Amino acid sequence: MDGPFGIALGLITSADAALMQIIGLSLRVTLTAVLIACVLGLPLGAGLALARFPGRAAVIVMFNALMGLPPVVAGLLVYLLLSRSGPFGDLGLLFTPTAMVIAQTLLILPIVISLTRSVVEDLWVEYREQLRSLGAGRLRAVPTLLWDGRVSLLTGVLAGFGRASAEVGAVLIVGGNIAGHTRTMTTAITLETARGSLGLAVALGIILMALTLTLNALAWGAGQWARGRLG
Amino acid sequence: MGAGTSRMRGDTISTEGTPMRALRDTGSAILPLRLDSAGFAIDGKPLLSTLTLSIAPGRRLIVMGANGAGKSLFLRLCHGLIEPTSGRRFWADGSTRPDAQAMVFQRPVLLRRSVAANLDYPLKLRGMSRGARRDAVATTLQRFGLEPLADRPARLLSGGEQQRLALARAWAMRPEVLFLDEPCSALDPSATRIIEKMIESFAAEGITIVMTTHDLGQARRLAQDVAFLHRGRLIEHGPAAPFFAGPQAPEARAFLAGDLIW
């Protein structure tokens, strides 16, 4: 039981305080980022699906491209904005969980916007005439289409969650990996592995995998249930 | 509901100018609907040309014609889903798109929610209060025998049930005129009979019916008036009996005889 796996299991089964603190912070940061990205991205994506304006194609391509934004670049961008000499330096947010939330929101937002646009655009083709006939204009159609696309949209939101919980570059740059303050599962794995302290790294890896697996199982189950229940 | 059967059959033009959304018992405020050489073209290609006609209240008008004659487009033009690119469309109340009209599509889009929620949706769009909506939904469910299905997801209903719900949803919107685009073309004979019965009961309540069909038997069963379209033009329009007995236009004669006229 002295190998990294043995130590990892020990840490997990004993609910080690440092381990729990790291998991808690990671979940808090990522879930907050997902929530903000949804609040902004769902209406924006739906609006982009229904609106017609010059340059719309360019905007769509841009958001599609931003889905692949490297986390370190997102981190760098937020770092520049929040660093003491940056435009928002006075807020003193750098190396706080808030800065990590901002960076992760930046990563998730394009995913939520792009997937929402695609889902809503497809639904709009089908619903358009009927909704107009019932008396819903484009603006009023937005919440209707979001609600009717809820099952497909859940997939997009989960993809966003997956991306944010797995990335290390952005939170490392803007959070600084300060123990007990801004240390997340991914930054801790990076640090502990570099230090040769593999037990904690493996424990966090297991937790991270289990989390992803659970979420995807839940999403799949929800999708199956909804298909049977909602048609 | 027990709305009068034929109370408002016939001429109700005298009520013109009364506020919009009059209830069916007080007569039609939005009809007749008049088209004045209305046309619709896409990229300069005319799909409907110089349509001039008046849709009178309290009648069942069946729109006929071969595939591609412009029947569906004609309904969409009347209903306000498309605007005429030439000529004009007048509702009797002067509005561009009155509320007191509804349309049922060949393949109705039902929302991914319960039957009751589907009935509630258009009423909510019209700003009805929660209480009034609850009553209206309950009334509608009861009127069409949909109570056992109220909580079922609408998308999982059978084709016939879905079309019944689509008609019920249209009815709940209190239309003075109901447009129906081939409402039975995807249905089996028994479901078709149910839908026809519903349409007849709507007409008996005074709802004006404008419906397309390519089923001649159905047209004969339901029509009081007939409009015959051919290549985007209105060739004949008038009472059904003389039309079926012997239409004036050769295209219409050929159509009734089952000849290929396209």
CATH 3.40.50.300 fits B13-110+157-256, yes or no: yes
Question: What mean pLDDT do residues A54-81 have?
Answer: 95
Give the predicted TM-score (pTM) of the model: 0.84
Q: Is A90 exposed, middle or buried (0-12, 13-18, 19+ CB in 10 A)?
A: exposed
ipTM: 0.84
Q: Which residues pair with B53 in a beta bridge?
A: B35
Condensed to tens digits (0 to 9), the pLDDT of residues B26-45 reads 457 888 999 999 999 999 89
Residue span(s) of chain B under CATH 3.40.50.300 come to 13-110+157-256
- What homologous superfamily does CATH list for A26-190? MetI-like (1.10.3720.10)
The interaxial angle of helices B115-125 and A97-134, nearest 10 deg, is 90
Domain residue ranges in chain A: 26-190
- Averaged pLDDT for residues A122-147: 94
Please state, in angstroms and as integers, the Cα–Cα distance from residue B67 to each residue in B215, B231, B261, following that order. Answer: 12, 9, 10
Question: Mean of the pLDDT values across residues B82-105?
Answer: 92
Q: Is B207 on the interface with A (CB under 8 A)?
A: no
Contact B109 A127 (CB under 8 A): yes
pLDDT digits (tens, 9 = 90+) for A1-54: 578 888 888 888 888 898 899 999 999 999 999 999 999 999 999 999 999 999
Residue with tokens 């498309």, as numbered in its chain: B82
**Per-residue confidence at B241, pLDDT binned at 50, 70, 90?**
very high
DSSP B15: G
- The strand order across the sheet containing B233-239 reads B101-104, B177-181, B208-212, B60-64, B225-230, B233-239
Structure tokens at B183: 């409402």
B105, B112, B173 member nearest A231 (Cβ): B112
Mean pLDDT over all residues of chain A?
A: 92
Q: pLDDT digit string (tens) for A162-212? A: 889 999 999 999 999 998 899 999 999 999 999 998 998 999 999 999 998
Place B261 in a pLDDT band, splitting at 50, 70 and 90: low
Rounded Cα–Cα distance for residues B198 and A171 (Å): 63
Amino acid in the structure at residue B32: P
**Distance to chain A for B65, nearest Cα, Å:** 22
Residue B156 has pLDDT above 70, yes or no: yes
Which residues of chain B have a CB within 8 Å of the CB of A229? 153
Put simply, the answer to whether B102 touches A133 (Cβ < 8 Å) is yes
Separation of alpha carbons B20 and B93, rounded Å: 7
- Position B2 confidence tier, pLDDT thresholds 50, 70, 90: very low
Strand pairing category for B45-55 and B33-42:
antiparallel
> B40-81: per-residue pLDDT in tens?
999 989 999 999 999 989 999 999 998 889 999 999 999 999
How many other CB atoms are there within 10 angstroms of residue B147's CB atom?
Answer: 14
- Flag whether residue B159 sits within 8 Å of chain A, measured between CB atoms: no
Among A223-227, B9-13, B144-148, the range with the most confident prediction by mean pLDDT is B144-148
Can you say how many angstroms the Cα of residue A160 is from the centroid of all Cα atoms in its chain?
A: 4
Task: Supply the DSSP string of B22-54, one letter for each residue.
Answer: --GGG--SSPSEEEEEEEEEETTEEEEEEEEEE
Arithmetic mean of pLDDT over chain B: 87
Please enumerate in sequence order all residues whose Cβ is within 8 A of that of B137, keeping only pairs 6 or more positions apart, or say none: B116, B119, B120, B123, B172
Q: Is B108 close to A130, i.e. CB distance below 8 A?
A: yes
Which among A134, A147, A231 has CB closest to B125?
A: A134
SS3 content of chain B, % helix, strand, coil (to 5): 35, 25, 40
In chain A, which residues touch B (CB < 8 A)? 126-127, 129-136, 140, 144, 147-148, 150, 229-231
pLDDT at A74 over 50: yes
pLDDT at A33: 97
